Amino acid sequence: MKKIFLLILVCFSLLAEAKKNKNKFVVIETNKGSIKIEVFNDVPQHAANFLKLAKEGFYDSLLFHRVIPSFMIQGGDPDSKRAPSKQMLGNGDLGYKVPAEFKLPTYYHKKGALAAARDNNPEKASSGCQFYIVVGKIFTDADLNNMEQRGHFKYSEQARTDYKTIGGTPHLDGDYTVYGQVVTGQEIVDAISLVQRDTNNRPNEDVRILNIKIKKK
């Protein structure tokens, strides 16, 4: 009986750990539509930080303040919440950084990747709040070979296939932390990247994050 009881305890413990280690999903509601993203639990510090801020409502009413076609859309600057038209944005922060967590070759900057923005600090630590979602473009094998040599890493066959078919921003690999991937709503990301913008790449018409809700799947 004692052995059965211990076995049951072990099973419950394993189930609890499995549940704890599952990836979370978030839905970014914007005034242009919804974007669903899987957040990778094995990029633990970035995932925990992003989910904490989302749960607290930090991102509610912030802007996608920087958008570049065939590259990415960026949001999460706290200064953007009440920023007047034409104000340059991108320097807002929360007073802390998240240490870099590069997971090459598992996670990379393919189209739809969620990654952390950062300044030019030598440790490549991430902003505590700003993020971007990749739009990107198609690359060739020759392009990827050059990037491997520059970054001193090797792409997986899947990464090469993705970059040559759906595209991405491989030149950012090894410099910025990827911690999620768009599941649905990439067309919304692409549409946001194409809105009219000023010389600082801020949309002329505000593209606002209404809220970010955490989902089980």
Residue 118: per-residue pLDDT: 97
CATH code, domain with 84: 2.40.100.10
pLDDT band, residue 10 (cuts 50/70/90): very low
Q: Is residue 12 part of a domain?
A: no
Residue 153: per-residue pLDDT: 87
Q: Is residue 82 part of a domain?
A: yes
- Judge contact between 79 and 130, C-beta under 8 A: no
Nearest in space to 76 (alpha carbons), one of 50, 102, 43: 50
pLDDT band, residue 151 (cuts 50/70/90): confident
Q: Is residue 15 part of a domain?
A: no
Q: Is residue 80 part of a domain?
A: yes
Residue 20: per-residue pLDDT: 55
Which amino acid does the sequence have at 178? V
Which domain does 112 fall in, by range?
Answer: 23-215
pLDDT over 80 (residue 177): yes
Q: Is residue 83 part of a domain?
A: yes
Q: Is residue 55 part of a domain?
A: yes
Residue 106: per-residue pLDDT: 95
pLDDT over 80 (residue 41): yes
**Nearest 5 degrees, angle CA 188-CA 189-CA 195?**
90
Q: What is the rounded average pLDDT of the residues 75-98?
A: 95
Q: What is the rounded average pLDDT of the residues 122-147?
A: 97
- Residues 66-82, buried b or exposed e (16+ Cβ, 10 A)? bbeeebbbbbbbbbbee
Residue 31, token pair as written in the block? 């005034």
The structural domain count of the chain equals 1
Beta strands in 83-205 (DSSP E): 97-98, 113-116, 126-127, 131-134, 178-184
Q: Is residue 11 part of a domain?
A: no
Q: What is the DSSP string of 51-63?
A: HHHHHHTTTTT-B
Q: Which of 8-22, 79-93, 110-124 has the lowest mean pLDDT?
A: 8-22
pLDDT over 60 (residue 58): yes
Q: Is residue 191 part of a domain?
A: yes
Residue 7: per-residue pLDDT: 35
